[in-house]
Structure 1
Amino acid sequence: MKLNYYATLGVTVCSLVMFTGCPVTQATHEGSRLEPVVVENLLVEPAADNQPGDAPLAQSPAVVAPTTPAESTGDALTAAEPAKEEPKPDEPKKPASDANPTVRPKADRTPRKAGDPIKITFDNIIIGMQADIAYRPWMLKDEVKELDGQRVSITGVMWGAELTRKLDSFVLLRNKECKYGPGGQADHLAKIELKPGTKTTLTAATVRVEGVLRIQPETGTDGNTWSLYVIDDAKVTVQ
C-alpha cells in the first residue's frame, strides 16, 4: 500500500519537473506523511510595455564603429567651399581710339571773359580718319562743326627739325608719334598761322596755341589729305 503511494507521488513530481523545467524544493516529512511540494511562480508573465509615467527602459549604448584614418594620397583633401566673388574694382574708361573715338570729351565751354578762347584738346576734333585717305565732308561730326570759326586754345608739339629757325607758320601735332604727310592722320594735327608780323622758334617742348580754328583740308602730293584744320591769327606759348 505504501509502495503504491510513494510510486504515485514520484510520478506526480516528475510530471511537474517536466512541465516547468525548474528544480523541485526538498520535501519534508512529518511522521509518515510527505507534505506536498509547493512550486510558486511556475508561469512568469512577460514584462508589460512601458506605460506613460513609467521609468524609461534602459537602452544599451549605441556601438560606434571605430574609424580608421584615410590613407594618404599625397595632397590633403579638403572640403570644397564655394568661391566667393570678390568685388571687381571699377575699370577706368579706356581712352577713345584714334580710329574709332567712341568716348569724346566735351570742349570746355564754361563762362569766360570776352575774347577768352574755348579750351579744347585734339580729342575734341578727332573724327576717326585713317592714315593716307582723302577727306570727305560726311566724315565731319556736328560737335566739330560747332568749333569752326571759334577762338580756341589747344596744346601739342611742333613738327620739324630746325629748332633755331624763325617761323611765321608751323604744323602742330597731337603728340610726337604723329606724322605729317604720308602715313599721317589728317585730324591729328593742325597748321598754325601766326598773327601778322610775329614769329616763333621751333621747340621740342609742349606748346599752347591760341587762335581761330577753321576746317580747311589740305591735299598732299599723293592725293590724300595731309591736314584738316588751320588755326590762324595765332600766338604760341611754351609750356
Structure 2
Amino acid sequence: MRLLLFALIVYSNLQAGVSQAASPPLTNPKQDQKTSSPRTSGSGEVAGKQQADRVAQVTSEKAGSKTKVEVRKSSESARAKGDINFDDLSFKIEKDAKFNSALLTDEIKKLDGVKVKLRGYILPSTLFKETNIDQFVLVRDNQECCFGPGAALFDCVIVEMVPGKTTDFVTRPVTVEGKFKIDTEKYKSPNGDGPRGASHFAIFKIDGVNVK
C-alpha cells in the first residue's frame, strides 16, 4: 500500500505542477503601456488579438464545462445484485474541496461492506508494473481528468487485490469484483492538505477478488 500511496502523492503533485505551468502568466497593464511604443503598434495589435482569442477560448471552455452530464445510477435490481457504476458513488462536493463524511449520501453509506461489481479503467499513471498488479486506481474513464487535482473525488476507487490475487494492465475497461469499503483515513493527503488544497486522494476502495 505504501508504494501506491507514494504514487498517488507524486502523480497529484505532477498534475498540479503541469496545470499551473499551463496557466497564462499574469500581466500588468500599466507596465505594458509604459514599455509599448507607437512604432510597435503592429505587434501590439497581434498580441491583442491573441489575448482576445485566448479569452474567447477560456470562456468557451468554461461554458462547455457547465454542460450538464446525464446521471445514470444503477437500478434497484442491479444494486441488489451488487452491480454499481460510478454515478452511484457521486455526491455533492466541489473539486479539490476538503472532504467531510457528512457529504456522503445514505445510498453510498449502504454500499460499505457490500460485495460489488464496478466497471472502469485502470489508471496507468500510478502503476509500477504492468503484470501481476495487486493494487491500482480504477477510474470512471480513460482520461487523466478522473484522478488528481481538478478531478471529482468520487470518480476514482482504489483497488487492493486480496492476498493471492493479481491482475494485468489493459487499456480496455475492466469489471472489478470485491468488497466495497469507505475509508476516509487511508488515502488522506499528507497533513490533510494536498495539491490545490484537496484533503484526500480517494475515499473509496474495493478489496478485489477478480478483475475481468
Band the TM-score falls in, shorter-chain normalisation: 0.5 to 0.7
1:55-204 residue pairs with structure 2 within 5 A?
95-96=69-70, 105-109=73-77, 117-161=81-125, 164-177=130-143, 178-204=145-171
Alpha-carbon distance between aligned partners in 1 of 2:148 and 2:69, rounded to the nearest angstrom: 25
Deviation digits for residues 67-118 of structure 1 (CA, Å, limit 9, x no counterpart): xxxxxxxxxxxxxxxxxxxxxxxxxxx744xxxxxx5624443597xxxx51
C-alpha separation between the residues in 1 aligned to 2:99 and 2:168? Answer: 31
Question: What is the aligned partner in structure 2 of residue 226 from structure 1?
Answer: 201
Moved more, 180-189 or 136-145: 180-189
- Would the aligned equivalents of 1:107 and 1:118 in 2 still touch at CA under 8 Å? no
Larger Rg: 1
Q: Given residue 214 of structure 1, which amino acid in structure 2 is its aligned partner?
A: K
Q: Which amino acid aligns with 1:124?
A: D
Which of 202-211 and 127-136 deviates more?
127-136
For structure 2, the 5+ residue unaligned runs are 1-67
Classify the secondary structure of the residue corresponding to 2:77: coil
- Match in the other structure for 1:11: none
Q: Quick one: structure 1 residues 141 and 111, their matched pair in 2 at CA, closer, same or farther if it must change by over 3 Å?
A: closer
Structure 2 Cα separation of the partners of residues 110 and 191 of structure 1 = 22
Q: In the TM superposition, what is the alpha-carbon distance from 1:179 to its structure 2 partner?
A: 3.2
Structure with more relative contact order (C-alpha pairs < 8 Å, separation 6 or more): 2
The whole-number CA distance in structure 1 between the counterparts of 2:160 and 2:76 is: 23
Contact 2:74 2:85 in 1 (8 A): no
On the 8 A contact 1:118/1:151 being kept in 2, the answer is yes
| Conserved? CA contact 2:139–2:157, under 8 Å | yes
Residue in 2 that maps onto 1:76: none
Question: Between the two proteins, what is the percent identity of the paired residues?
Answer: 28
Dislocated runs of 4+, deviation >6 Å: none
